[in-house]
A and B are shown apart, each in its own frame.
Chain A
Amino acid sequence: MNHSRRWFLGLGSVVSAALVACRKAAPAAPPSAIGAPVSGYGARSHFEKTERFLRNAVAPPPEATSSRTPLHDTYGIITPSSLHFERHHAGVPDLDPATHTLTIHGLVDRPLVFTVDELKRLPSVSRIHFLECSGNSASEWKGGGEPTVQRAHGLTSCSEWTGVPLSTLLRECGVQPKGTWLLAEGADACRLARSIPMAKAMQDALVVYGQNGEAIRPEQGYPLRLLLPGFEGNMNVKWLHRLKIMDQPAMTRWETSKYTDLLADGTARQFTFDMDAKSLITRPSGGDTLAGAGVYELTGLAWSGRGAITRVDVSTDGGVTWNRATLQEPVLPRAHTRFTWSWRWDGRATMLASRAVDDTGYVQPARADLVAVRGLNSNYHNNAIQQWNVAADGAITNGNA
Chain B
Amino acid sequence: MATRNRRTLAGIVVAAVTLVATTSRTVAQSPVFGLGRAPNADEIKAIDIGVTPDGAGLPPGSGTAQAGKQVFDSRCVTCHGATAREGPQDVLVGGQGTLVSPKPLKTIGSYWPYATTLWDYVNRAMPFDHPGTLPPNDVYAATAYLLYLNGIVGERDVLDQTTLPQVKMPNRNGFVMDTRPDTGPRPAPVRRSKR
Contacts and interface: CB of A to CB of B under 8 A. Distances in A.
User: Do A and B form a real pair?
Assistant: yes
A189 B131 contact: yes
B138 interface: no
A197 B131 CA distance: 27
Contact of B114 (A112, A114, A251): A251
Interface stretch (A10-18, A151-159, A263-271): A263-271
Given A171-B32, A172-B35, A360-B188, A199 B23 contact: yes
B75 interface: no
A375 to B, nearest CB: 9
Contact of B31 (A110, A118, A200, A242): A110
A8 interface: no
A202 B22 contact: yes
A183 B177 contact: no
B39 A203 contact: no
Interface in B22-67: 22-27, 29-39, 43-44, 47-54
A274 B194 CA distance: 12
Contacts of A167: 26
Contact of A105 (B39, B111, B114): B39
A4 to B, nearest CB: 25
Interface string B94-120: 000001101010101001111011101
A14 to B, nearest CB: 39
A249 B29 CA distance: 23
A121 B128 CA distance: 37
B180 A63 contact: no
Given A118-B35, A256-B117, A262-B106, A276 B29 contact: no
Nearest to B104: A377
B195 interface: yes
B125 A90 contact: yes
A267 B100 CA distance: 8
Contacts of A270: 175-178
B117 A103 contact: no
Contacts of A252: 50, 117, 120-121
A251 B52 contact: yes
Contacts of A200: 193
Interface string B160-184: 0000000000000011111111111
B125 A191 contact: yes
A258 to B, nearest CB: 9
A215 interface: no
Nearest to B47: A242
A118 B36 contact: yes
B42 to A, nearest CB: 12
Interface string A188-211: 011101000111101100000000
A179 B30 CA distance: 16
Given A180-B21, A373-B183, A251 B124 contact: no
A113 B37 contact: yes
Interface stretch (A31-39, A40-48, A361-369, A391-399): A361-369
Given A174-B30, A256-B112, A268-B174, 16 more contacts: A105-B48, A122-B33, A185-B50, A191-B49, A191-B132, A193-B124, A248-B54, A249-B195, A250-B51, A257-B108, A257-B113, A260-B175, A268-B175, A268-B176, A269-B175, A269-B180
Interface of A: 60, 62-63, 89-90, 103-105, 109-114, 118, 121-122, 167-168, 170-181, 183, 185, 189-191, 193, 197-200, 202-203, 241-242, 244, 246, 248-253, 256-257, 260, 262-274, 276, 306-307, 358, 360-363, 365, 369-370, 373-374, 376-377, 381
11 contacts: A111-B44, A118-B36, A171-B29, A198-B18, A199-B23, A253-B118, A266-B99, A268-B174, A269-B179, A270-B178, A271-B177
